[in-house]
Structure formats: C-alpha cells, structure tokens
Amino acid sequence: MKFPIFRISLVATASLLPLSLVGVIVFLVLYSWPAIQYNALHFLWVNDWDLGNLYGNPITQHGQQIMPGARYGIWFLVVGTLASSAMALALALPLGIGSAIFLSEGLPRTWGTPLSLFVDLLASIPSVVYGLWGYAVLVPLLGQHVYPAMARALSFVPFLGGRPGSGYGLLTTSIVLAIMVVPLISATLREAMNTTDTALKEAGRSLGLSRFQVIRHIVLPNLRTVLTGVSILALGRALGETMAVLMVSGNALNYLPNNIYTPISTMASFIASQLDSALQDPTGMAVEALSEIALVLLLIAVVVNIVARLLLWMERIR
Amino acid sequence: MAAGIPEPAPPHRPVRRTARSIRHHVGDGLGWGLSIFAFLLLAGAFLSIIGDVFLRALPVLHAKLFTEITNGIGGGLKNAMEGTAVLSLGSLLLAAPVGIAAGVYLSEHGAGRWGSALRFLSDVLVGVPSIVLGYVGYITLVIYLGWQFSVAAGVITLAIMLLPYITRSTELALRSIPDAVREAGYALGAGEGHIVFQILLPGAASAILTGIFYAIALSMGETAPLLYTAGWSNYMWNGHMTQEPIGYLTYVVWTFINEPFKESHMLAFAAAFLITFGVLMLILLGRWMLARAQGKLGAYN
C-alpha cells in the first residue's frame, strides 16, 4: 500500500484547529492557577475589586502572595454581564423574529433577498464602530432626551424609574448588543422558515387561517427549538462582546446597578480595561485574577455554545 | 385548532363580518405592522451607523490621511492602515492553510466520529470571546515567549480566531460538489491529493474565496484580540516580527475618541470610515462573486 502522504498531512494540518482551542484552555488554566487557588470560585459572588496598597509589602494569604488589602471579588461583573446580555436578548428576540417574518413571508422573494441585506450586513460592522456609534449618536440622544422622559413617565416601575444617568449604562449597552446579535437570530430564523414544509403552511391556509395566523400558529411553534438554540447562541455572543461595551457601558467599578440606566462593566470589557492597572501589582496576582475572569468567561461561553449547538443540530441547522 | 376554523361562507352571499373575523383582521394587521416596524428599526439602525460614520468622516478624508503617520493627537493614518493590512494578511496566511485543510477533511472524511468532533470543536471556537483569545495571546506569546507587543503575537492570535470561519466556508463549498465528480476523478486514476487540489478546490474556488474575504473583513474589524498582542505604534512597521508593536485602524477608533481634541475625534471617525467601508466592500464583493460564479454554466450549486 502506498504511504498516504496527502491524508496524513491533511489530518496534521487540520488538527491545528482543535489543538489551538485546547491550547487556549490549557494555557489559561495554567496561568490563572495561583488565582484559582487563592480565589476558588468564591470570588464570583463577593463584591469589590481592589488591587490593595500597591506600595506596601506583599503579604501571604492562603499560600499566595498578594498586596495588603487586595480583594478580587467580581460580583458586579457577573451582574453586569448577565443583566446586559439578558436584556439584549429580550430586545433582540422580537426584532429578530419580526424582521424574519417580514423578510421571508411578507415580501416576494425578489424583494426579500435584497432588503435582508440591511439586516445581514449589521453582522459585519466591526464592534468598535458600534461602540463609536453608541458613543456619538446613541448616548447623547438617549441620555439627554429619552432616558429622562422614560424615567419620569415610568417612575413607579421598579428598575425603570430613578436617576436617568448620563446615557452610559446598562440599557444603552443592551440596545447596542441587541442590534449586534439580531442579524444572527434573523438570518437563522429566515433560513429555517424557508425550509418549513410548504404542505404544513398550505394545510393551515386551507383551514381558513390567514397568512399571519399560519406563521403564528404553525410556522413559529414548529421552530421552537431553533429559536431556543439561536437565542442561546446570541446570548453567547453578547456575553463575550468587548469593544462596544467598553465604549457605552460607563465602565463602573464595584458598583451594582440599581436601575437600568446605571453604568455597568462586563467581564469581557473589564479584562480589556483593567490589564494596564493590574500590571502595577508586583505580586502578579491581579493579572492572574484577570486571567481567572477570562477563564470563567471562556467556560461560560463554551457551555452556552455547546448547549446551543446541540439544540440546533437536533434541528439540522448549522 | 378547531376553534380557529371559521364557518365556510355560503356562495353568492356577502361574507358577514363577525366580531371574530374583525378581531382576526386587526390581529393580522397588528402582527404585520410589528414585523415591518422591527425591520424598519433595524434598517434604520444600519443606515444611521453607516450614515453617521460617513458624514462625520467626510470632512476629514484628505490625502493627508494616506501620506502621514499618526502623532499623539492627530496626523494621518498611514501607519495604522499599513498595520491593519499586515495583520489581516498575516493572519490569513496562517489561518487559510489550516482552515482549508480542516474544511477539506470535514467534507471528505467528516462523516465519522472524528469529523463530528472536529466540527463541534470548530463551532465552540467560534463562540470563544475574542478578548479571551487576546488575553491568552498576551500571557503566552507576549509574556511567556517574550515576544513583547508584536506583529507575530497579533497575527497568531487573529489567525486562531479566523480558523473556524474558513473551515466552515470551505466545508460547505466542497460539499456542494456532487460525488460523481470525485468518482470521475478516481475512475481516471487520480489520487486523493490530485482530486482535492485539481478538481475540488478549483471547482469551489469562488465559494472558498468568499469565505476568505469574510475572514479578511473579520480580521480587519477586530480590536479586542489585538489590544494586548499587537500593541500600538505611531510609526511605520520596520519589518520585525517580534519585539516591535504595530498600529492598526480599530485602535485609532477606540483610543482617539477618548482624547479631548477635535482633531483626534475626526481621525477616529476617518479610521472608522475606512474600516467599515473596507469590510462592507469585501463582504459585498464576496457575495457578488459567489452569485456570479453560481450563475455560470456548469457551476456546482
């Protein structure tokens, strides 16, 4: 038998892909090991990120050297990340479903395809440009006009009333994130709607349902799994978004939101914004703690993606 | 569903508008109205982003942007443009062979357990937040290997991010070629390497190229993986792969907008304009190329 040079080099080259994923996880665990030993998982639900007295002498706690007074609690990041992503998803779902219905069922194909570019191209705009748009357009508009009016009109609703803030904060972040993840939801749903069995739709029509009723009572319930899968996928995108969040969230430190206008930080944006100051810590524990945050974020993203992919695979959508 | 079935109207009599049918009409109208509104909102957001970047960048699009390097608060974007090109093309050079190989493997041998595993890991890699990749690049390449902020560190980090996209587009492109084409090749005595390089890859070239264009667009627009791997430099790249930081356009957008000077803001918008339109052009060009190739006689669809 001939030695299969091609097959072997193909497999060797291709295996760099899984190796790089494994490498990312392994290196992150190795590097954050001291922080994992020091913080365990406890740091997730205690608050206050404090590098301590950087001019003091390092002290030893739990077998690790840290600066005096240093604390690495990130509960505010957990809250900020989950709240902004969940709100983004809540805003993105109706927009995604609505636009998918309009583009795939409400228009003839000759119109639907070019018009869907408006939604699809949203996915290709770089996140830093979203951040710039949020900074230059959304924040002034919302902060000066919309939020004060909203807070006044909804003052009796918990979390919607209170101080409207400057425009940088949880709601602005969620709006930007929602627009960023909507194309994923819309495109996947559109594809799934187009592959829905035509006989099902015709059966509904022949029973006297209107076209919209067919969509509401037949097509959408049929796509429940796809919708769940793609929502989780979109959630994963929103959780890991960095630059846009960095530019519109207000980058709060140690601050828990008390209404939807409050400045926040997310894990991803915190990693990006804090590395410079963490490098000031001579014991290195601050950088390792950041690395542990990255590891937590990675694990959340991986779990979220696995769940979403399994759901979508069940429906044969990739 | 039984409750939803209306009585069939007897022929030759005007349909009586019952309360229920009116309610259905209103419900339909509301449903369509909301879905049109959702679309208009998204289209409006898209136009607002593009229009805002364009209008604010328009007054500053001088030749100076292309001939001068940045200084602390202003200047041109020559160094950043060069850096973006170097980083994108460099990461593509690394990611394309691996991604295409993985795509070929998935489409030709991907039916079994190993194929599913690779596909699964590739999908998981798509979901890894780019800042995490950047951080890993920082701790491994920049710190541990001692490369400092450098082209090599930025390029490798970006390449890992691009891999799954290239893999996926290659796999889908090759799978659309019918098996009969491969069988014809084997019947003529060609080996697997021959079939892949001379029949399958050329046949799917336009679809693969569209995926590559998408990957370039993606790498042009990224910031988070580069912040702590490529660093930033006000000067042109001197050709060193390690120890020398390099500038790139997205960095200008995110740092110069925080400066208190008007000139810096204008530069940030100019950089945003260049990236956005570069990215959109690449994506539209890819789509157009694919559509044109698929319209040709004898194309595999």
- What digits encode the pLDDT tens for the residues B112-129? 888 888 988 998 898 899
Q: Dump pLDDT digits (tens) for A57-115.
A: 777 777 777 777 777 888 888 999 999 999 999 999 999 999 999 998 888 888 888 89
Q: Is the pLDDT of residue B7 over 70?
A: no
Question: Where is pLDDT greater, at B67 or B100?
Answer: B100
User: Could you give the angle at the alpha carbon of A296 between the alpha carbons of A290 and A299, nearest 5°?
Assistant: 140
Q: With beta carbons less than 8 A apart as the criterion, state whether A53 and A67 touch.
A: yes
**DSSP-based three-state secondary structure for B228:** coil
On whether ipTM exceeds 0.85, the answer is yes
* Of the partner residues B28, B167, B193, the one whose CB lies closest to the CB of residue A6: B193
B115 is written with which tokens?
């194929």
Instruction: Of B156, B154, B160, give the one whose Cα is nearest residue B248.
Output: B154
> CB–CB of B127 and A240 under 8 A?
yes
Residues B261 and B34: their CA atoms lie apart, in Å, by 43
Q: Dump pLDDT digits (tens) for B42-73.
A: 999 999 999 999 998 888 888 788 888 888 77
* Cβ contacts of A241 on chain B, cutoff 8 Å: 129
> CB–CB of B163 and A242 under 8 A?
no
* Three-class SS of chain A: CCCCHHHHHHHHHHCHHHHHHHHHHHHHHHHCHHHHHHHCCHHHHCCCEECCCCCCCCEEECCEEECCCCEECCHHHHHHHHHHHHHHHHHHHHHHHHHHHHHHHCCCHHHHHHHHHHHHHHHHCCHHHHHHHHHHHHHHHHHHHHHHHHHHHCCCCCCCCCCCCCCCCHHHHHHHHHHHHHHHHHHHHHHHHHCCCHHHHHHHHHCCCCHHHHHHHHHHHHCHHHHHHHHHHHHHHHHHCCHHHHHHCECCCCCCCCCCCCCECCHHHHHHHHHHHHCCCCCCHHHHHHHHHHHHHHHHHHHHHHHHHHHHHHCCCC
As a whole number, mean pLDDT of residues B12-32 equals 73
Q: For all residues of chain A together, what is the average pLDDT?
A: 86
Q: Quote the pTM value.
A: 0.90
Q: What is the pLDDT at residue B295?
A: 78
Q: What is the pLDDT at residue A53?
A: 74
Q: Dump pLDDT digits (tens) for B207-246.
A: 899 999 999 999 999 888 998 898 888 888 887 888 888 8
* Cβ contacts of B257 on chain A, cutoff 8 Å: 132, 135-136, 247
Pick the residue from chain A with its C-alpha nearest to B99. A14
Number of other residues whose CB lies within 10 A of the CB of residue A19? 13
Question: CATH second-level architecture of A82-268+300-314?
Answer: Orthogonal Bundle (1.10)
Percent of chain B with pLDDT over 70: 92
User: Could you give the angle at the alpha carbon of B168 between the alpha carbons of B45 and B49, nearest 5°?
Assistant: 10
Instruction: Of B96, B64, B79, B53, give the one whose Cα is nearest residue B211.
Output: B96
Residues A103 and A119: their CA atoms lie apart, in Å, by 10
Find which of A93, A103, A132, A285 to mutate to test the B interface (most B CBs within 10 Å of its CB).
A132
Pick the CATH number of B63-295 from 1.10.3720.10, 1.10.10.10, 1.10.30.50, 3.40.50.150: 1.10.3720.10
As a whole number, mean pLDDT of residues B285-301 equals 80
Q: Is the pLDDT of residue B13 over 70?
A: no
Q: What is the pLDDT at residue B14?
A: 53
> CB–CB of A272 and B131 under 8 A?
yes
Find which of A7, A129, A297 to mutate to test the B interface (most B CBs within 10 Å of its CB).
A129
Q: Is the pLDDT of residue B111 over 90?
A: no
As a whole number, mean pLDDT of residues B155-184 equals 92
Question: Where is pLDDT greater, at B21 or B191?
Answer: B191
Q: Is the pLDDT of residue B147 over 50?
A: yes
Q: What is the pLDDT at residue B4?
A: 53
Residues B205 and B209: their CA atoms lie apart, in Å, by 6
> Could you give the angle at which helices B205-221 and B262-295 cross, rounded to 10 degrees?
170
* Of the partner residues A124, A186, A216, the one whose CB lies closest to the CB of residue B31: A216
- Residues 6 or more apart from B278 whose CB is under 8 A from it? B217, B220
Q: How far is A201 from chain B (nearest CA, A)?
A: 14
* Of the partner residues B43, B129, B221, the one whose CB lies closest to the CB of residue A268: B129
Q: With beta carbons less than 8 A apart as the criterion, state whether B152 and B242 touch.
A: yes
Q: Is the pLDDT of residue B21 over 80?
A: no
Q: Dihedral angle at the C-alpha atoms of B249, A171, A241, A315, nearest 10 degrees?
A: -130
B42 is written with which tokens?
């998204």
Token pair 């005595």 in the structure block, residue? B189
Q: What is the pLDDT at residue B2?
A: 46
* Of the partner residues B1, B99, B124, the one whose CB lies closest to the CB of residue A305: B124
- Residues 6 or more apart from A204 whose CB is under 8 A from it? A213, A214, A217, A218
Half-sphere exposure in the Cβ direction for B112 (13 Å, CA): 4
A72 is written with which tokens?
């690495």
Q: Is the pLDDT of residue B8 over 60?
A: no
Cα radius of gyration (chain B): 26
Percent of chain B with pLDDT over 90: 41
Residues B110 and A284: their CA atoms lie apart, in Å, by 44
B202 is written with which tokens?
């050329």
pLDDT-based confidence at residue B16 (cuts at 50, 70, 90): low
> CB–CB of B223 and A97 under 8 A?
no
Residues B95 and B103: their CA atoms lie apart, in Å, by 12
Q: How far is B68 from chain A (nearest CA, A)?
A: 23
Pick the residue from chain A with its C-alpha nearest to B272. A129
Task: Kindly give the parts of chain A with pLDDT less than 70.
Answer: 1-2, 317-318
As a whole number, mean pLDDT of residues B179-193 equals 89
Say how far residue A309 (Cα) sits from the centre of its chain: 16
Find which of B5, B23, B42, B226 to mutate to test the A interface (most A CBs within 10 Å of its CB).
B42
**DSSP-based three-state secondary structure for B6:** coil
A265 is written with which tokens?
């930080």
Residues B58 and B66: their CA atoms lie apart, in Å, by 14
Q: What is the pLDDT at residue A318?
A: 61
At residue A131, what is the residue type? G
Q: How far apart are the first and last CA of chain A?
A: 37
Phi/psi for B100 (5° steps) reads: -65, -40
Pick the residue from chain B with its C-alpha nearest to A214. B28
